[in-house]
C-alpha cells in the first residue's frame, strides 16, 4: 500500500512541479514548434532521466530530515513564505501565458536527449521541492522512506514529469496552429500554490 501511495504522490507532485512555465517546459515547447514533437519528446526523456536522479538524492536527504523534526519545523515556515510569494507572483506579476512565445532555439539540433539531461541538471529546484513534498506527506503518514516506496516515488516522478512536458509540447503546438489560446496558465499555477500554502499553514498551526 505504501508503494502505491508513494507512486501516486510522486506522480502527482511531478505533474504539479512542472506546471509553472520555466526553462525545461518552455524549452520543450520551443523545440516542438521548431523541430517537431518527436525531437521534443526525446529532449523530454533526457530531462526525466535527470529528474529521477535528482528526486532520489532529494528523498535520501529528506529521509535524514524526517528524523530531525526541529529542522522540519523551520523549513515549513520558510516554505510557507516561498509559496505565498509564488502565489502573489503568478496572480499579479507574471506575464500572461497567452502571449506569443519566441520561436528561436539557440542550441544545436543534434543530441536533444543529452541536451535534456544537461539542461535539467542545471535546474536545481527539484531538490528542495522533493524534500518539502516528501517530508510534508510523511508527516501525515502518507509517504514512506523505505526502499521499495522510495524507488516507486522516483520512477513516478519521471513519468509525471514526462507527461507534463508532453502536455506543454501539445499545448503550444496547438497554440501555434490556432494562433490564440484563451487559457492563462498563471492563474492555474497561482491556485495550486495557494492550496499548498494553505496546507502548509494548517500543518504549522497544528504543530504549535
Q: What is the pLDDT of residues 58-114, one digit of tens each?
A: 999 888 887 776 676 676 677 677 767 767 766 776 555 455 544 444 445 558 899
Tell me the mean pLDDT in the region 133-138: 86
Instruction: Using pLDDT thresholds of 50, 70 and 90, give the confidence band for residue 177.
Output: low
**Residues 22-73 pLDDT 10s:** 778 888 888 888 888 899 999 999 999 999 999 999 999 888 887 776 676 6
Domain boundaries, given as residue ranges, for the chain: 2-207
Q: Are 190 and 87 in contact (CB under 8 A)?
A: yes
> What is the pLDDT at residue 155?
96
| Tens-digit pLDDT profile for residues 191-208 | 766 776 777 677 667 766
- Whether this prediction's pTM lies above 0.85 is answered by no
The closest of 69, 66, 55, 67 to 13, measured between CA atoms, is 55
Long-range (24+ apart) CB contacts under 8 A made by 167-176 are: 168/18, 168/25, 168/26, 168/28, 168/29, 169/28, 169/29, 169/32, 169/37, 169/40, 169/41, 169/44, 170/37, 171/29, 172/29, 172/30, 172/32, 172/33, 172/101, 173/29, 173/32, 173/33, 173/37, 176/33
Q: Given this model, what pLDDT does residue 151 score?
A: 94
Give me the residue label for grid cell 525545461. Answer: 24
Amino acid at each position: 500500500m505504501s508503494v502505491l501511495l508513494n507512486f501516486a504522490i510522486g506522480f502527482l507532485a511531478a505533474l504539479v512541479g512542472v506546471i509553472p512555465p520555466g526553462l525545461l517546459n518552455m524549452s520543450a515547447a520551443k523545440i516542438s514548434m521548431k523541430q517537431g514533437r518527436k525531437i521534443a519528446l526525446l529532449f523530454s526523456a533526457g530531462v526525466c532521466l535527470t529528474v529521477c536522479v535528482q528526486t532520489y538524492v532529494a528523498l535520501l536527504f529528506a529521509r535524514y530530515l524526517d528524523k530531525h523534526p526541529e529542522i522540519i519545523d523551520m523549513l515549513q515556515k520558510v516554505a510557507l513564505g516561498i509559496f505565498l510569494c509564488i502565489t502573489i507572483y503568478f496572480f499579479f506579476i507574471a506575464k500572461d501565458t497567452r502571449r506569443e512565445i519566441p520561436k528561436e532555439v539557440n542550441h544545436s539540433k543534434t543530441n536533444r536527449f543529452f541536451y535534456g539531461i544537461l539542461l535539467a541538471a542545471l535546474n536545481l529546484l527539484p531538490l528542495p521541492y522533493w524534500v518539502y513534498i516528501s517530508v510534508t506527506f510523511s508527516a501525515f503518514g502518507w509517504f514512506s522512506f523505505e526502499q521499495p516506496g522510495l524507488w516507486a516515488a522516483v520512477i513516478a516522478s519521471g513519468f509525471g514529469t514526462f507527461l507534463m512536458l508532453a502536455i506543454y509540447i501539445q499545448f503550444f503546438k496547438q497554440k501555434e496552429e490556432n494562433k490564440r489560446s484563451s487559457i492563462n496558465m498563471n492563474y492555474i499555477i497561482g491556485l495550486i500554490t495557494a492550496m499548498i500554502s494553505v496546507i502548509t499553514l494548517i500543518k504549522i498551526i497544528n504543530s504549535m
